[in-house]
Chain A
């Protein structure tokens, strides 16, 4: 991010804290790609194809404008992290609505620094890694691999896993990760390297993946 755009972002945040809805719309447009990634990454597989990322974004925008005053009164985080949190909440609501409570148990969601994060991260990470991968042996093999990768990821330290997911799949920076998870930058940094090492071990168990990735 160039200094130019960070100046603009700061200006936008300032206006946002003044309760400016226009600034919210501008910020939303600016951060659209990042927010889309959140949705794309977090959307549970049964909902893919039924819910479009754009629809979720729209809902999230409505939610954000309703809560803008609250944010303006007591801004607890940077605007992007706040928006991200709203998108996450919108997603959770939509998951509940579409899949019912039994599919994604609220009790399984861990709360980190006020923002709820689903343990479903493991499933999402697995889908990101295996999702588009089509092996010759077809759908059955894909399902097996998915389960394998998911269970491996599930065994990781929950915060390490979250750091990994945020860095790669939501494309957050180290400082954004730290802010989103409420940890120190140093900790986020160390956790990332540790998680990466674990991921390397997991990927090594899926021979097709490491082969497919070595080219170029």
Chain B
């Protein structure tokens, strides 16, 4: 503030001057030491020791108070005993919109349910009026399947909503119980119904599940017609109730499993009519609880339009979950969930295994149709179809076939509409030919030559059709560089897409390919086709994240190709083909972190191609494949985070062959890309070589930086020329974020450069993740980049920014960990992020929270280790986790536990390393954490 007084500081109490500085540093998230101040100011030593801790405590309490008041909606410290005429008996449940109590209305001696809204929900007169109006409307609904609303009230700022008490259970509790029963099959003996159902206790979800499944299904875990009929009856009652409400022009707006109650008589009750609108307010949209509601919102609701058909959608989605016994959309992250919902319909509930009746599934999918016009146009129509199903009469709803689904998909994605015609044709062709071709092939194996020839022709036709589809829907390289086009013409790389639709289509293509891949016979042509089909199966599996299956398919393809090559007297084209397959297998192993298998595969490829190295006349395809092979061999092994740091000497030694390998790749690629019409992939790989060279030579500072800069230069050019190619953007982002972060103190200019680079990288990655939500690498990279940025802020002691970035990393990583449980790498990075986050929490004086995070992280790591005993133990990560835990516990005052954790940390550090040869370059997360450990302990 611009003071008007002439330097008044001389008059100020010297202790107050120091206190002001100390306070300021605390507020910036630093941890200034009282002792340091005391030592630096001997004249004030005593007063500093006496008073500064009080400053620290006051600041900390204030910060805590400010945080807690900004939190989520809750009833706060208030303990409700009575609300007007209503005596509170017990809490029944808690939802996004309030806490529900069982209560007695004393004047009428009746049992009621009272929903109390958090104070924040009804902020102003406008909201309050809306709440009262909606409640009045809901009170006008009288239907056998709608929970009756008696009225509203207010006390001490709490607004409440009085309704009929239902002796039953919400479908949200029921569905997990059903899923459990089906999963467990016969193993566990379920609790007896007598012990759980009574008149005074709440209907237990497990007992309700048992009743719904029927005794047979409860015992065997196999769902039968009893259950499907029960689901249809639930749907019918709810649809009837909706129809009634809609006829009175009342929308529910928040149909979801939690709002469908099933009582002991099997009657369904719709609860909370209109409450969603009544409580609509901007600030509660931040509440996590609302995700439970978002999940069932119709896509058009996100665009701000709601009508009675949105209720039909939500009911459809609720019934979907009763069928599938899992969530329709699995996403837990809010924005991703919204994205998924607005993007397209949920995957089919999986009728094949479960024996879901086709008609019932059709009805429910129609109700939950993504497109408003495809839905039932009234709840009555839906009820009619459900009635038909229950009475075993034909239903009105028509099933959507793959052709129509594709047509719809094309309509939604207008940019690709140009492809629709061919694609549609191809899909029909595949469906028709592949199955016919398969049958014929099978017969042909024992049949005559003419028949065999026809079968071959059909199989090939089918495969070609599939291949063209495949290329159209999934040209994504997933970090695997494609071969250039054989004739040497510059192929413009297509944009890889693995949208949900593409993934679904690939899934649909898989069985066709699988059939083709299983053909056996002596015919070479058939065999080549089978090899190709296996390669495609592998590629599809890989794109779908089914890595182990992908390995099997690739290996099968290689074996077939090798056999062919031997018989064809070393056909050079086949040679390149085999080498390419081996390299792809190697990459796959690398992503499975099987380092030696990967190495072996690439060396196999090298053995095939090495002879071409010296000859510039060798076909481009062979030279490029050779360059790729050198590149892969030169790519340093990426150790698991938490691996032991290697000493410098060894690192330098090992780095040399890698550098040589990369240098060879660079020479080849420079030759290849000298032609003006060269494939941009040559440039791309060249950039990657420079980046990798930079990573290997990290010890040698200047060289490393120049390698990265060269890579950035090439990649920026490629991104500019091919803006829609995500791989170039991805690699550019990686190059940006590879920036070296020096030890502090970091000059301001360098800080700015670092922040700028990270900003550029994150910009690219955010777009990539938004545009390609199904490509895991993009997401993983965004998570790691946030982690790196977080570590940078940690070094700067900018704790709130560090904290923010670590949280972002965790949020990004968590769906990956869930989706790819087979990739331990994701789990280990997650642990790294969480430990870093916990560390930031400790610095921000939230040791209790840090403790929770750390304990959970450690137990997850140990559990993963138990489940996959073949993976090396991440000693350093565990050591780090324990040592942070010890620190947090000490701050909380749990001395004994803190000592135990410290002991465990020490133990982890002295245990023999789980795996040799692991370098540290790639695991910067852990490395930074180590610097931190050293500096703090």
Do A and B pair up? The answer is yes
Give me the interface of A with B, judged by CB distance under 8 Å. 1, 6, 9-10, 13, 40, 46, 48-52, 55, 78, 80, 127-133, 139, 142, 167-169, 171, 173-176, 184-186, 189-190, 192-193, 196-197, 199-200, 203, 209-216
Say yes or no: A200 contacts B54, CB within 8 Å. yes
Say yes or no: B57 contacts A210, CB within 8 Å. yes
* Chain B hits for A175, CB < 8 A: 1, 3, 5, 8
Query: What's the Cα separation between A88 and B807 when bound, in Å?
Result: 36
Say yes or no: A1 contacts B1, CB within 8 Å. yes
Query: What's the Cα separation between A51 and B62 when bound, in Å?
Result: 20
Query: What's the Cα separation between A192 and B76 when bound, in Å?
Result: 34
Q: Does B190 contact A (CB under 8 A)?
A: no
> Nearest 9 pairs between A and B by C-beta?
A215-B891, A213-B57, A49-B119, A186-B11, A132-B68, A189-B12, A185-B8, A131-B65, A200-B54
Q: Number of residue pairs across A and B with beta carbons under 8 Å?
A: 135
Query: What's the Cα separation between A214 and B57 when bound, in Å?
Result: 7
Known: A49-B119, A78-B2, A200-B54. A174 touches B27 (CB 8 A): no
**In the complex, given contacts A55-B124, A133-B64, A210-B57, what are 4 additional A-B residue pairs having Cβ atoms less than 8 angstroms apart?**
A131-B69, A189-B11, A197-B50, A213-B61
* Chain B hits for A52, CB < 8 A: 123, 283
* Chain A hits for B757, CB < 8 A: none
* Chain A hits for B19, CB < 8 A: 192-193, 196
Q: Does B60 contact A (CB under 8 A)?
A: yes
Chain B 256-268, CB-CB to A under 8 Å as 1, else 0, gives 0000000000000
| The residue from A127, A171, A185 contacting B65, defined by CB atoms under 8 A apart | A127
Q: List 27 A-B contacts (CB under 8 A).
A: A6-B1, A6-B2, A52-B283, A55-B123, A127-B65, A129-B58, A129-B61, A130-B61, A131-B68, A132-B64, A132-B67, A139-B79, A173-B1, A174-B20, A176-B1, A185-B12, A186-B8, A186-B13, A189-B11, A193-B19, A193-B47, A197-B51, A209-B61, A213-B57, A215-B845, A216-B31, A216-B847
Q: Does B4 contact A (CB under 8 A)?
A: yes
* Chain B hits for A46, CB < 8 A: 157
Q: Does B53 contact A (CB under 8 A)?
A: yes
| The residue from B8, B51, B69, B891 contacting A40, defined by CB atoms under 8 A apart | B69
Chain B 119-147, CB-CB to A under 8 Å as 1, else 0, gives 11001100000000000000000000000
B29 to chain A, nearest CB (A): 12
Q: Does B15 contact A (CB under 8 A)?
A: yes
Say yes or no: B54 contacts A196, CB within 8 Å. yes
Known: A9-B1, A215-B892. A189 touches B16 (CB 8 A): yes
| The residue from B64, B118, B119, B890 contacting A215, defined by CB atoms under 8 A apart | B890
Say yes or no: B1 contacts A216, CB within 8 Å. no
A169 to chain B, nearest CB (A): 6
* Chain B hits for A212, CB < 8 A: 57
Kindly state the interface size class of chain B when it binds its partner. 35 or more
Say yes or no: A185 contacts B5, CB within 8 Å. yes
Q: Does B391 contact A (CB under 8 A)?
A: no
Q: Does B564 contact A (CB under 8 A)?
A: no
Interface residues of B in 16-53 (CB under 8 A from A): 16-17, 19-20, 23, 27, 31, 47, 50-51, 53
| The residue from B13, B27, B283 contacting A193, defined by CB atoms under 8 A apart | B13
Among B9, B57, B891: residue with most chain A CB under 10 A? B57
* Chain A hits for B31, CB < 8 A: 216
Say yes or no: A78 contacts B58, CB within 8 Å. no
Among residues of A, the one whose C-beta sits closest to the C-beta of B122 is A50
A108 to chain B, nearest CB (A): 23
Query: What's the Cα separation between A203 and B839 when bound, in Å?
Result: 28
* Chain B hits for A193, CB < 8 A: 13, 15-16, 19, 47, 51
Among A52, A129, A184, A213: residue with most chain B CB under 10 A? A213
Q: Does B66 contact A (CB under 8 A)?
A: yes
A176 to chain B, nearest CB (A): 6
Say yes or no: B55 contacts A196, CB within 8 Å. yes
Say yes or no: A185 contacts B69, CB within 8 Å. no
Say yes or no: A192 contacts B13, CB within 8 Å. yes
Q: Does B748 contact A (CB under 8 A)?
A: no
Say yes or no: B16 contacts A199, CB within 8 Å. no
Q: Does B77 contact A (CB under 8 A)?
A: yes
Say yes or no: B59 contacts A168, CB within 8 Å. yes
* Chain B hits for A128, CB < 8 A: 61-62, 65
* Chain B hits for A6, CB < 8 A: 1-2
* Chain B hits for A199, CB < 8 A: 54, 58
Say yes or no: B157 contacts A49, CB within 8 Å. yes
Say yes or no: B119 contacts A132, CB within 8 Å. no
